[in-house]
Structure 1
């Protein structure tokens, strides 16, 4: 790996990985669950950050890979995960990978009706285990946490329409298939303890309604991670245990799939100022070689954990609009008011940007940037930026 000794010499734009922070987060949630449950599983959400270096590290720290497509399933295997340490969710499974995962002992949570049909193709000489996803309508389960009057979901089988009952009936009718677990992943914007308490309580009621004999409950993700004024990993774990104990189900293995809570805080993004224009008497536009696409691909954030790194002292100006490098007018990140003027060569360091950024950043006008890992004596390049050569590598021209 290419090594760089000084922070100032990092080639921008780039992401910077702090492996100690990722390990701290994984261990933090593992310890919180281990304090209460005999068995638990941390699923590293591949869709949230699919950097191979991170996947490899998560596996070494005994996390499972939580994947939601056939491509992610193959990626997890290439990064060293045995099938027994893969959680396979989502509708984008292929028949080949679905059957391979079930037959190889992966945790497979059925999401679609075609997956139910594929069960008939399993060999008859062995018993196979599967899970199933339960549909969660937040407006019905926890109205205080709902986004609107009908915060329904397109995922899972609904117990309101009997599709869950029909799916259960099909599975139990098969002599070579056992229903092993229930998947209830749903994220509320509040990420509150109250929401998890109510959603798990609903799941427990469904388990009792159908007399299900399960070995695990997969409560999914959507947790806070680093913020001091938000619920901690231990508080989430305490909530899970409290509800399950009330229903006599505390023996279940609890599976969590934290994405944001594990990878957001372990990545920073560094960009450099490439231009400064005065467009009005008291307004400057600052252009950087990064983009809002890099750190806010949903275009929802109103602020960032950022720091401006000046090379020299400059005069204070009334207003600066910090913008990205694309040709899109709306590629604007944030506004500085009554601050020293940023100049070409100054840098901006953004923190807490590891979740859904690298996976969702489009290759629009500028291809994927470098990723460095921070080490004791400098930085190592763990993903080299793409050039036009990488972009066309499987194309015909």
Structure 2
């Protein structure tokens, strides 16, 4: 029999679930949020951890993140409304991105949310604020990684379509526009940009670029929002504390360590707290000692970008089976390329056996298409108990709000 890396108690737990499904480990979510907040608090008088809703918009998970002290970081009017429905007060929402609606933008600014302006139309909307009150907004600064940290760039010109550029007149014009409004002041800078390296060096240089911009325009700010894109959950990778120390050291050197530091981790918070459970529904020997194993899950569920070359997977067998040379583990769709990984010289997986995928909470549920099989169950494991927090969709849910 295979040597289990998970306990018999966990094996029995995974066997009890209706597959396919995701499982949220609430304690792991809390550990991640607390870990980053503690690292920031060790350096800064005020620091905020924003839960990236686009990375995982499961309402139960969002509400728990709020309970654990995180703000909701949203990038559209739909996400803003979802955050409100999940219990986040307006003044604990960070509102980013180009897909704001005018109504939610005005509501957020007037309600004390951290609003980072992304588009020129948002600048125009500032005129619709109550003229009898004073308001504060942030502004997103465009960052070209090739220009500030060449070693971390992806290609010769790793530019960005987001934010206002100080390499042209865009940023200066936006600063000037806000300064001419009698009831609005600029109180923050948003510099979110993710490098594939996720290196501490990249964040040091990004913050240095922000500091130079702040000094160039003599900005009197309350916060610096450095965005997301961190590791923090993998061994032999930069830790939350290393990122925090890097932010602080650069800001301290520029006499700006009094700023509130805002981070918006996505992957770092939610990847490790979710697993995906699928069940084997068929196997076929298509060539000599080469088996295709079909599961009720899909690569769409855990790798919607179809970029991963491997997964943190474990197999749960019901009984002892012969070792076979090759098994290609496949999904349930009719797509030929719905193939997840290959097992070599392992016991043959049979109908009813289960496969567990770890660290699959980031950009999976949000991007999974409803192709052939609709969105699956989500369970939450909390205080030793498991409960269903999102029921799978059937055809009834699929056709809601449609005309047939």
Same fold (TM over 0.5): yes
Tell me the TM-score range normalised by the shorter chain.
Answer: over 0.9
Aligned to 1:349: 356
Instruction: Return closer, same or farther for 1:224/1:113 CA change in 2, 3 Å cut-off.
Output: same
Aligned to 2:142: 135
How far apart, in 1, do the equivalents of 2:13 and 2:164 lie?
Answer: 53
1:69 and 2:76 correspond: yes
1:77-96 equivalence runs, <5 A: 77-96=84-103
How far apart, in 2, do the equivalents of 1:221 and 1:7 lie?
Answer: 32
Alignment deviations for residues 182-202 of structure 1 (CA, whole Å, 9 cap, x no partner): 000000000000000001000
How far apart, in 2, do the equivalents of 1:300 and 1:328 lie?
Answer: 16
Aligned to 2:248: 241
Report deviation, 1:315: 1.0
How far apart, in 2, do the equivalents of 1:39 and 1:375 lie?
Answer: 30
Report deviation, 1:121: 1.1
Aligned to 1:145: 152
How far apart, in 2, do the equivalents of 1:266 and 1:294 lie?
Answer: 16
Aligned to 2:7: none
| Structure 2 residue matching 1:258: 3-state secondary structure | coil
Aligned to 1:211: 218
CA RMSD of aligned residues (A): 0.9
How far apart, in 1, do the equivalents of 2:232 and 2:285 lie?
Answer: 40
The match for 1:319 among 307, 312, 326 is: 326
The match for 2:177 among 150, 167, 170 is: 170
Aligned to 1:124: 131
The match for 1:200 among 188, 207, 225 is: 207
How far apart, in 2, do the equivalents of 1:45 and 1:36 lie?
Answer: 22
How far apart, in 1, do the equivalents of 2:35 and 2:128 lie?
Answer: 41
The match for 2:115 among 81, 84, 108 is: 108
The match for 1:272 among 268, 279, 286 is: 279
Report deviation, 1:153: 0.5
| Structure 1 residue matching 2:115: 3-state secondary structure | strand
The match for 1:32 among 39, 47, 53 is: 39
Alignment deviations for residues 290-312 of structure 1 (CA, whole Å, 9 cap, x no partner): 00000011111101111011111
How far apart, in 2, do the equivalents of 1:84 and 1:122 lie?
Answer: 17
How far apart, in 2, do the equivalents of 1:264 and 1:116 lie?
Answer: 35
Alignment deviations for residues 95-119 of structure 1 (CA, whole Å, 9 cap, x no partner): 0000110011000000001101111
How far apart, in 1, do the equivalents of 2:388 and 2:255 lie?
Answer: 50
**Preserved CA contact (<8 Å) 2:14 2:277:** no
Report deviation, 1:281: 1.2
How far apart, in 1, do the equivalents of 2:209 and 2:105 lie?
Answer: 28
**Preserved CA contact (<8 Å) 1:132 1:182:** yes
1:44 and 2:44 correspond: no
Report deviation, 1:225: 2.4
How far apart, in 1, do the equivalents of 2:364 and 2:234 lie?
Answer: 19
Report deviation, 1:376: 4.4
How far apart, in 2, do the equivalents of 1:360 and 1:91 lie?
Answer: 19
**Preserved CA contact (<8 Å) 1:225 1:260:** no
1:185 and 2:192 correspond: yes
Aligned residues: 393
How far apart, in 2, do the equivalents of 1:226 and 1:132 lie?
Answer: 30
Aligned to 2:27: 20
Report deviation, 1:174: 0.5
Report deviation, 1:84: 0.2
How far apart, in 1, do the equivalents of 2:224 and 2:388 lie?
Answer: 39
Aligned to 2:305: 298
Alignment deviations for residues 340-365 of structure 1 (CA, whole Å, 9 cap, x no partner): 11111110000000001110000001
**Preserved CA contact (<8 Å) 1:185 1:221:** yes
| Structure 2 residue matching 1:356: 3-state secondary structure | coil
Instruction: Return closer, same or farther for 1:7/1:336 CA change in 2, 3 Å cut-off.
Output: closer
TM-score, length-scaled by structure 1: 0.98
Unaligned runs of 5+ in 1: none
